[in-house]
Structure 1
């Protein structure tokens, strides 16, 4: 990790970093939140500054066999923190001032995600793991004896080499933000640099950009192409012009970078499909489910399944519409990022028209489903314009073999949300179990072609023939628990008129309103009638 990110972002402050220790995940520590498993995790101590809090966290990390702790620089290299690091054996790293925690987290998750789902024997291109642009950037830097960045068409930094401290402040600012600052991009645009870069098949030389007034170095850049498509570019910060051999080496390197960028693009699609297949297998159960759960790294966790979908509308009925599919994939990716920040072990994939998420929860959490619902509510509040997104939270699965049961309960709760029987956008299955049963009974009655019979059937027929409102009167009275005043107000009718209608509906249908069984039967039929779209 330190070799890939160099010293531009992270510095080793104390502890032994020479020993090879695995990083199984990245966790953002919050002292006010529930403790999450930290085994073999890199812990980001965002906002931690009190010495007592830091030393206590280091002790907790030793007990859970965590890998290392990252704190914001500056950190004293001698004192209680260094002593605690030596006593616990947990190294402490410092995040450079001005660097973003979110950018560091994203880069670390990218580095640690390699091999999570796919096969361990990764494909290689040019002797480097396919898609590993950081390794390619370091190799190019060694060939050219200068710091290098690899950027996409929007000047976002995809990877960078070591030795960035040898470049100018502009390069350091670019690395920290993972994006070329706007003021530099605008000047390059005005000079016509990008136009020349993307038209030329050879490297071009670029004079220093002094938009910020700070010292600047010249650049040499070369476009990365796949056929006629420009994928991005390689930028080299140089103190003197490159020799013809090194210019040729840079030009040749663009071909390898293009292969890696294409592999990375294709790999993202393959990884998404593979994760969806694994998640579908785990949620369906049966043969292969145990292996799928293990490859998703959820085998030793209690889990909860969340089902996310858009509300049923005519505009969204065609699931093959490219715009609809694109929007659903966007929501799925955003949900995966949001969930991953809270649950280090989680998996999200779109299966059919539903986005399923499995969150691994700590074993001691008794209300894990309620906590997952709060996470989903927070996600929807951040989503903004997608007001029609619904999320159902299934029952807790004590182990991987129970994931199909949790998925089934999430599906049942989602049907309740889609039917409109429950207000809100997020619901727990435990809160809507009876509504789910009613939806299923209505499905059964609809399949058999059954319609309300007995007193309710007679009232429906009477209303249809005479244009009366006796069914509405009965439903209002039942839902108001026999309170005539409240029920009459609900249907905008005078209480005396309402009482007269009650007597009439009893006479016409023979319904005994004093009989609890008769009331229950009528209420169930009216609920099923309300669920029937006909």
Structure 2
């Protein structure tokens, strides 16, 4: 049975680290379970909650931080959070080392109420992912975004104007009613769920976004559309999450500006919960897909949770050609994987995608191999020539139990594609089977410490000692099926000279060129054992 997803300290640090908290003392255990949130109150003894994150509201100074760490350890806490900058001295270091409770610093300006609500939301999301998603099928990984639309309507009622909540790229995440009271630019934005590109360029040219993201309060924007706007950045700590835009008739009063400022804080919580929910969903789907592709006792249940039991499916393996350690290639691989997930979601709602070990794997429900090839070809044609990606395809699996074998096929085909053994960008294992066998045979040959003597090895040794080209001569002759004229032209020498070299190499290598078996063995050795540099 697949274990219930539970929040651990490492995941919480990953979700909040770039936005709200940083480790200032101690070495957090990334797999330490987190059981809840406690708010520190020096006048009250809280109930013991193992694995809690303790919020040290108002705790400042090294002695107070050390005392909080010791108290949190007595409660079985996983970590404490205090406001940055945090005074860390020997007293704090000793308390942390002795208790194992790390100290996290909260970004200045972040709301304690926001942090407490966000942590509880993360815990609730994990509980939701572990229990409610067990039979959700296509709902696995759906965004737990909170009711942003209700918030937009509430802001519209307070400020008497239509509202949109947008991300940093101008994508509309939620909008209020009464959009017909806006102007053509706002209506176009709602219809496309995206601010028109020309409006974004205009705002950028005017410096509106620069001013908006630097301002802590509302910003009035005139002249971009028929009606003026008031906007405010939605931020958590130092990170800009998006913005709220309101079509207004006139400037807001102090009460209206205060209401919009407070609404931005609430919107930040919704957007953080939305991002956390999406991250949980993506991780859950990746874990489930990895379980399916590995096989084993848990694979059938994982396949059922992903909705992959209803029809045959095959595995696609995607990678980007190039140096795997290059940062640009890693980024291109990540973008290509996301693009493939989006493409397959449009093709089939049950398609499951995850990146495992630098390769993006997808399980695509399909009725035939030809259909899978068409999907892969279509996708690569859309991202080419910007991204040099290739896709290996596995055999069609009649049921989830055959998907591990389909993955093995896709991996073998992908290796041939990345090794340059075929001009194609999409291939089934059956298309490149011989090339795959040769690569696997080469692996075994290279793993041997002492290869037996053979004609090709003798030729290479002779060439190295006498600075000759007998190995090149043999390769050209074999490649041209014994056509001396064509082989001589390939190596740019006279046919008579080539014939002399051919006779000489047969003597040096003790190779019978008239023997088909000997010729085949020589071809294999040339292919499997490249010359020593």
TM-score category, normalised to shorter length: 0.5 to 0.7
User: Cα deviations across residues 125-149 of structure 1 (Å, max 9, x unaligned)?
Assistant: xxx9544533432444455554220
Write the mapping of 1:17-32 to structure 2, written as runs, cut at 5 A.
none
Aligned residues: 399
Structure 1 unaligned segments of length 5 or more: list them: 1-113, 123-127
Question: What is the CA–CA distance in structure 2 between the aligned matches of 1:533 and 1:220, rounded to whole Å?
Answer: 70
Candidates 377, 381, 387, aligned match of 2:380: 377
Question: What is the CA–CA distance in structure 1 between the aligned matches of 2:450 and 2:397, rounded to whole Å?
Answer: 36
Change (3 A) 1:392 1:452: farther
CA contact (8 A) 1:301 1:400 kept: no
Q: Show the counterpart of 1:394.
A: 394
**Structure 1, 233-242 or 470-479: larger mean CA deviation:** 233-242
Q: Show the counterpart of 1:317.
A: 325
Q: Show the counterpart of 1:290.
A: 300
2:183 matches 1:168: yes
Question: What is the CA–CA distance in structure 1 between the aligned matches of 2:178 and 2:532, rounded to whole Å?
Answer: 67
Candidates 268, 273, 282, aligned match of 1:263: 273
Root mean square deviation, CA, Å: 3.3
Question: What is the CA–CA distance in structure 1 between the aligned matches of 2:213 and 2:231, rounded to whole Å?
Answer: 10
Residue 465 of structure 1 deviates from its aligned partner by: 2.1
Question: What is the CA–CA distance in structure 2 between the aligned matches of 1:463 and 1:190, rounded to whole Å?
Answer: 67
Question: What is the CA–CA distance in structure 1 between the aligned matches of 2:437 and 2:349, rounded to whole Å?
Answer: 34
Structure 2 unaligned segments of length 5 or more: list them: 1-124, 134-142
Q: Show the counterpart of 1:133.
A: 148
> Secondary structure of 1:496's match?
helix
Change (3 A) 1:309 1:144: same
Write the mapping of 1:415-434 to structure 2, written as runs, cut at 5 A.
415-434=415-434
Residue 396 of structure 1 deviates from its aligned partner by: 2.2
CA contact (8 A) 1:305 1:393 kept: yes
> Secondary structure of 1:331's match?
helix
Write the mapping of 1:77-226 to structure 2, written as runs, cut at 5 A.
118=129, 121=132, 130-141=145-156, 146-181=161-196, 184=199, 197-198=212-213, 201-203=216-218, 209=223, 216-226=226-236
Residue 118 of structure 1 deviates from its aligned partner by: 4.4
Question: What is the CA–CA distance in structure 1 between the aligned matches of 2:200 and 2:180, rounded to whole Å?
Answer: 21
TM-score, normalised by the number of residues in structure 1: 0.66
Change (3 A) 1:509 1:189: closer
User: Cα deviations across residues 377-436 of structure 1 (Å, max 9, x unaligned)?
Assistant: 324xx343333x332222222221111111111111222223332234333311111111
User: Cα deviations across residues 257-300 of structure 1 (Å, max 9, x unaligned)?
Assistant: 10111222333433333332222222111132222222322222
User: Cα deviations across residues 11-69 of structure 1 (Å, max 9, x unaligned)?
Assistant: xxxxxxxxxxxxxxxxxxxxxxxxxxxxxxxxxxxxxxxxxxxxxxxxxxxxxxxxxxx
TM-score, normalised by the number of residues in structure 2: 0.66
User: Cα deviations across residues 439-480 of structure 1 (Å, max 9, x unaligned)?
Assistant: 111111211224363333322222222222222222222222
Residue 252 of structure 1 deviates from its aligned partner by: 2.9
